[in-house]
Structure 1
Amino acid sequence: MSTLEQLFIDENATIRKTLEQLDQTAKRILLIAPEGKLKAVVTDGDIRRHLIRNGRLDAAVSEVATYNPKSVTMETRASAKEIMRQYSITALPMLNEQGIVESLLFANDLELIKKTDLAIPVVINAGGVGSRLYPYTKILPKPLIPIGDQPILELIMSRFQKFGCNDFHVIVNHKKNLIKAFFADSPKEYDLHFVDEDIPLGTGGGLSLLKGVLNDTFFFSNCDILIDADYASMYRQHKRDKNIITMVCALKNVVIPYGVINMSENGTIDSFIEKPEYSFLTNTGLYIVEPEVVEDLQLNESISFPEIMDRYRKLGKNVGVYPVSEKAWMDMGQLEELESMRKRLEINE
């Protein structure tokens, strides 16, 4: 199968299948093109909006696809840049005279995509003991555990730097002097500030130590995750929806390797499902947060960040979700996940 054909999907395919194919191709767009003739396109943004509306994963992709999409021919190819600019699209099919897809033009190939300059602060919670990664953390603090040639903390920061974020505030506690010493000796192209958490304050309480420091919307990240997604898109949605907090969530698909039995009230079998598949959104540990969240905390208050979110939900404030694909999220919270992250990064490199 050619590279182009890998971007074709049947309009009756499910949203779940579409997500899997978007993950595999990593092009953020698929084409509905029966016998090669362009009929519709579907993007990762279409899928994300569907999930935010609590749309079903077993729905047909035709429910979210864009029919009669923009396209160019070989003769009108010169207008591709202007069409992409005008309609804010990042990929454009090129068709022959019969409407058959010959290729896809991408905005980055046409030098239309410029480096995004978010320039907003990033707070990284790096104060945990990392007990699930023992015995690694017996010697090194979790933020300094190497993934390839770099510690995880440095890899996290590098992803934000790609989007113009260069102001980092790292909350440290366990073996904090080792962390500070490592970065003191490292050449830096960013501003790095350490925030000393003298007593454990949970996954959210360390933010209280930044009162009066953060005046803008900021990213808040755990120190054991990597997210390969569009951080600028996350920020735009957060602002557009007027959220006080946006949680970045990954769509997980889990196949139960057993037959699942549902019982009736009288003790007989009501239904039997062989190896069912379940899909759900799970918290990745990355958030976009408004500064008032920091100011509302009591100094040195021990609290988890999910508890903070729950407070605002109960007050009727907007706490939103930004979905990413399962493959966009890498977690090293446990030894098995740490090795999986290392292998994935080796393949990507």
Structure 2
Amino acid sequence: MKTAILAGGLGSRLAEETVIKPKPMVEIGDRPILWHIMRHYLHYGHNEFVIAAGYKAEVIKRWILDYATLAADVTVRPRLGEVTLHSRDISEDWTVNVVDTGQSTNTGGRIKRLQRWVGDETFMLTWGDGVSDVNLDALMAFHRSHGKIATLTAVRPPARYGHLVTDGDQIVEFSEKPQIGEGWINGAFFVLEPEVFDYIDGDATQFEKEPLEGLAKDGQLMAYRHYGFWQCMDTMREKHILEELWRSESAPWMTWEK
């Protein structure tokens, strides 16, 4: 089963970083957030990736190539135009396809352009800017159980500001970053059947609009509720949150080390 990752957006709210790289290549620790996402999927045995690149696609391609090359011994025969990589003891046993889906293509259009890459089978999909400790085995089991076209992972995101409970003017409870008690949102980490492509018109389609709305209207969209950790990286503040968790060696999404 293939895992598609949307990695082509501009990331304008992270302009300090994304002026020279696409958002999925912004680093948490010393690795792009894209690597963190892929490692989580690999932990659950999902090792075939299709990355939908767009903005500065060459940066992602270069990183994938360099990562493979630098992790291996190399034999180069320049006159013959041959480069041979000799496998070494590395943990990332994955296959990665990087597909240039266009500079200005919308999210639905990027997914549509991956149709021939994922084939006529169930596939997973997520965004290239968010991490979670979602149990992918349980997510898949839930998807198989209901027989619908699409499953999205519903999350309750961390609150942006500290949460206060007061008794008059006295604060009786303070929580710095609790999850919102009400209101589920789309946390990505989808499981999709190939029929989902019928809901996408073309490059201009935003997946979060007509396709998901149409699936919901047709009774073909289900929510897998995830009560654990989830965090997107839309802003520098959120990047710093993830950086601090990684530095403290308490990153909940680091499932491959547990």
> Given the two structures, how large is their TM-score scaled by the length of structure 2?
0.75
Q: Of 223, 236, 242, which aligns to 2:141?
A: 236
Structure 1 residue aligned with 2:60: 179
Letter in 1 for 2:67: S
Structure 1 residues 182, 278: closer, same or farther in 2, change over 3 A?
A: closer
Letter in 1 for 2:191: I
Q: Which has the higher contact order (CA 8 A, sep 6+)?
A: 2
Letter in 1 for 2:47: N
Structure 1 residue aligned with 2:113: 209
Cα displacement (A) at 1:170: 0.5
Structure 2 residue aligned with 1:122: 3
Structure 2 residue aligned with 1:319: 221
Q: Tell me, which stretches of 5 or more residues in structure 1 are unaligned?
A: 1-119, 260-274
Any idea what SS the aligned residue of 1:240 has? helix
> Could you tell me how far apart the structure 2 residues matched to 1:207 and 1:169 are?
10
Cα displacement (A) at 1:345: 2.3
Structure 1 residue aligned with 2:246: 345
Aligned residues: 213
The answer as to 2:130 corresponding to 1:225 is: yes
The answer as to 2:208 corresponding to 1:302 is: no
> Could you tell me how far apart the structure 2 residues matched to 1:312 and 1:295 are?
10
Structure 1 residues 131, 253: closer, same or farther in 2, change over 3 A?
A: closer
| Larger displacement relative to structure 2 (337-346 or 204-213) | 204-213
Structure 1 residues 226, 252: closer, same or farther in 2, change over 3 A?
A: closer
Q: Is the Cα contact below 8 Å between 1:144 and 1:152 reproduced in 2?
A: yes
The answer as to 2:96 corresponding to 1:192 is: yes
> Could you tell me how far apart the structure 2 residues matched to 1:284 and 1:197 are?
22
Computing the radius of gyration from Cα coordinates, the structure with the larger value is: 1
Cα displacement (A) at 1:257: 5.2
Query: What does the per-residue CA deviation read over 1:289-346, in whole Å, with 9 as the maximum and x for residues that have no partner?
Result: 11111254334343233431101222x2321111112x51021111111110111222
Q: Is the Cα contact below 8 Å between 1:229 and 1:328 reproduced in 2?
A: yes
Structure 2 residue aligned with 1:285: 188
Structure 1 residue aligned with 2:83: none
Q: Tell me, which stretches of 5 or more residues in structure 2 are unaligned?
A: 69-91, 167-172, 174-179, 252-258
> Given the two structures, how large is their TM-score scaled by the length of structure 1?
0.56
Letter in 2 for 1:320: M
Q: Is the Cα contact below 8 Å between 1:244 and 1:317 reproduced in 2?
A: no
5 Å-filtered alignment, 1:32-71, equals none
C-alpha RMSD of matched pairs (Å): 2.3
Structure 1 residue aligned with 2:32: 151
> Could you tell me how far apart the structure 1 residues matched to 2:158 and 2:133 are?
18
Q: Is the Cα contact below 8 Å between 2:52 and 2:110 reproduced in 1?
A: yes
What is the identity percentage for the equivalent residue pairs of Structure 1 and Structure 2?
25
